[in-house]
Structure 1
Amino acid sequence: MPRVSRLAALPTAALLIVGIAACSSSPSDSGQEGGGSDDWAAITIEHALGTTTIESKPERVATVNWANHEVPLALGVVPVGMAAANFGDDNDDGILPWVEEKLDELAPDEQPVLFDETDGIDFEAVADTQPDVILAAYSGLTQEDYDTLSEIAPVVAYPETAWGTPWREMIELNSQAIGMADEGTELIADLEQQIDESVAEYPQIKDKATMFLTHVDTTDLSEVSFYTTHDTRTLFFEDIGLKTPESIATASAETDRFALTRSAEQADAFNDVDIIVTYGGDELVSVLNDDPLLSQMPAVENGSVVNLPGDSPLGTAANPTPLSIAWILEDYLSLLASAADEAQ
């Protein structure tokens, strides 16, 4: 569709955003440059929401949604704007500790603008940063979100499924979009080496069948919700040497959903689970132990439960990102190892 007709189809608010973006300053004014060679060749990236072509080297990189900013930061590029952290932020400054450490290391003249995404993407704030590209390879963009953002700058969305991009693909797509594909490949290799070296220190977790309980309501344990093998949290289990229980694998094969729910009366289906990972605190463990049905699950009975506090950075451990892996991995593996020691 021609650009003029696309603009005509946008609502008034979107037209305002486009107008702001059109008034952007030249890249040389930004002081925050993207990577890649000066001999830029146009890059075309296909993804779930369309095809994006980046005609010239991005000098101003913006990111939306969770963790996309960690890719350019890991490669030495400071985004002009990025989503504020809304999970695991222990000091309420909108920046997770591993991101703060990287920003301190890079010491940019200007700190990234933090986009408040509490009520969805702040399109006007994104446009105000005057980006040359918007990274969202790991995201939940709707088609409408993508179309509106695309009027501001080229957008790289997720390759297949919203919120379903594994960390390697997030790095691959986002690094490609800023002309640093080779550096992205090196980053993946470095992280894989770090993971392998750390996992080798905890041999007891190898091949332990592990499930991830989610959205546990301590006031109503009549149902059990769990992440399927389509979720990035369970995908990370394979990276660190854990095994998917047959019960979870079978249930996952029948759906493309990230999470499923089963009646607590069917809890014996999870008798093949050695370790349970979940979000919660001591209260949750106590409630599980007291429940007449769930307490019979071997992992609960043995005390093989890893509790990730959702109000601290450790709560993000299960969902790996480029900068968090090295920062969190040792603590996460230690918790898993303690749970594995309790498993029979």
Structure 2
Amino acid sequence: MTLTSNRMTRRGALALMTAGLAAPLVAGCQSDPAPTAPATWAGSVTDDADFPVTIEHALGSTTIRTRPKRVVTVGYTDHEMFLALGVRPVGVRPWFGETIDHTWPWVKPAWDGMTPSYIGADLNYEKIASLRPDVIVGLYAEITKQEYAKLSAIAPTVAQDADSAPYTTDRAVMFRTAGRIVGATPAADRMLTDLDSRFSKIRTEHPEFAGKTAAVIDPSERAFYAFAANDPRGRFLTDLGFAVPEQVNKIIGDKFGAEISPERADVLDLDRLLLLADADSRRWLAGNKIYQQLAVVRGRRSLEIPYYERPFAGAAMAYNTVLSVPYAVQDLVPRLAAITD
């Protein structure tokens, strides 16, 4: 199962189908305050002393003999990892859309006015080859054996982690792998330590978050799509001190998320509920009796978080990179702290 065939791509597909949203997003980014994400994209990469390096992954192992200068990312969030490490990928796989992915406020400074070359959601192999990559990377991805064979014929290719289900690999694992690929392990470790310290400070300042049950939901007219504790959105909650309850994880199983039917909506009656909802979804939620009858909603303990509307906190949480997480934190932590039981 790939992103193009499951619920997770809903937001990316919406971006491509509703081009009218793209222009407001780009314009909105112009006036947004400077993000607090770590501006470390200059000088993070070391020399060639760390090479050759061999990376183990779900489809085997890949040896990178010299430091790559031309990186193509086929994972949906991988480009942000390399940007944070000082490497601008020459090719990027779109997620939310080709007019959007490089304009988010937390990532725009790293591109420094550049528009990346997009390689297509379904992987345009001719385009990838034309970019003459030194390495191809798919960490936040579900690269198939067939795709891997085609990509490896173009350049050394690193696929998703072998020890976790696709799209559930821990942020630190992926970022350290990205660091090894470009010889920037010390920089990756430093940024992860800084981010861990930030989360630790938040948990200390907000002990009321500790152990409270919470979940992130993507609502639609058919069902509520819930994200597991090991999905980036779920990990964001647990990093803050919240707990994604077993009743939600049990329904999801070993995947990153699953639909919860209206008949099972009671499992979402938690201490906190975060809904990824732009204007259309908010209108639907306002008229949905099942949602409105949940105690978490009646008690004003739910948050409706936009993807495409400022401050774009839903998208920042979904990317869950060292660049996007601080941007999500600065919006969501005060809003969560303002909720009382």
TM normalised by structure 2 equals 0.76
What SS does the corresponding residue of 2:49 show, helix, strand or coil? coil
Find the partner of 1:133 among 129, 132, 135: 135
Alignment of 1:270-285 (within 5 A): 270-271=268-269, 273-281=270-278, 284-285=281-282
Give the % identical residues: 27
The answer to whether residue 226 in structure 2 is matched with residue 208 in structure 1 is: no
Cα distance in 1 between the residues matched to 2:202 and 2:86: 24
Q: Report the equivalent of 2:106.
A: 98
Q: Which amino acid aligns with 2:257?
A: A
The residue matched to 1:295 in structure 2 has which SS?
Answer: helix
Question: Partner amino acid for 1:188?
Answer: L
Aligned residue identity for 2:147: D
Name which one, 1 or 2, has greater alpha-carbon Rg.
Answer: 1
Number of the residue aligned with 2:332: 332
Matches for 1:109-188 after TM superposition, within 5 Å: 111=114, 113-118=116-121, 120-160=122-162, 161-188=165-192
How do 1:299-314 and structure 2 match up within 5 A?
A: 299-312=296-309, 313-314=312-313
Residues 98, 327 of structure 1: 8 Å contact kept = yes
Q: Gaps (5+ residues) in structure 1?
A: 1-31
Aligned residues: 295
Tell me the secondary structure at the aligned position of residue 86 of structure 1: coil
2:76 — aligned with what?
Answer: 66
Q: 2-side partners of 1:212 and 1:179: how far apart?
A: 35
Q: Could you tell me how far 1:317 is from its partner in structure 2?
A: 2.8
| 1:324 Cα deviation after fit | 0.8
AA at the equivalent of 2:324: S
Shift of 1:124: 2.0
Cross-structure match for 1:316: 315
* Match of residue 261 from structure 1: 259
Deviation track 1:170-207 (CA, whole Å, cap 9, x = no partner) reads 10111111122222111211111223334544444333
Check 1:67–1:286 CA distance in 2 against 1; reply closer, same or farther (3 A cut).
closer
Q: Is the 8 A contact 1:78 1:112 kept in 2?
A: no
Alignment partner, residue 35 of structure 1: 45
Change (3 A) 1:50 1:285: same
Q: Give the deviation of 1:54 after TM superposition.
A: 0.9
Q: CA deviation at 1:321?
A: 1.0
Check conservation: 2:119, 2:128, Cα contact below 8 A: no
Deviations 1:207-262 (A, max 9, x none): 32101222x223x4xx443222332211221111111224224434xx21222334
**Cα separation, 2, equivalents of 1:126 and 1:84:** 13
| Kept after mapping to 2: 8 A contact 1:274/1:298 | no
SS of equivalent residue, structure 2 residue 56:
strand
Structure 1 stretch displaced more, 185-194 or 93-102 = 93-102
Q: Secondary structure at the match of 1:147?
A: helix
Aligned residues of 1:279 and 1:315 also touching (Cα < 8 A): yes
Q: Distance in 1 between matches of 2:188 and 2:286?
A: 45
1:149 offset after TM fit, Å? 1.2
- Letter paired with 1:331: D
SS in 2 for 1:190: helix
Unpaired runs of at least 5, structure 2: 1-41
**C-alpha distance after superposition, 1:9-60 (max 9, x if no partner):** xxxxxxxxxxxxxxxxxxxxxxx99933333432111111221111222122
Q: Is the 8 A contact 1:34 1:57 kept in 2?
A: no
Query: Which residues in structure 2 correspond to 1:212-231 (within 5 Å)?
Result: 212-214=216-218, 216-218=219-221, 220=222, 223-231=223-231
The answer on whether the counterparts of 2:308 and 2:315 sit within 8 Å (CA) in structure 1 is no
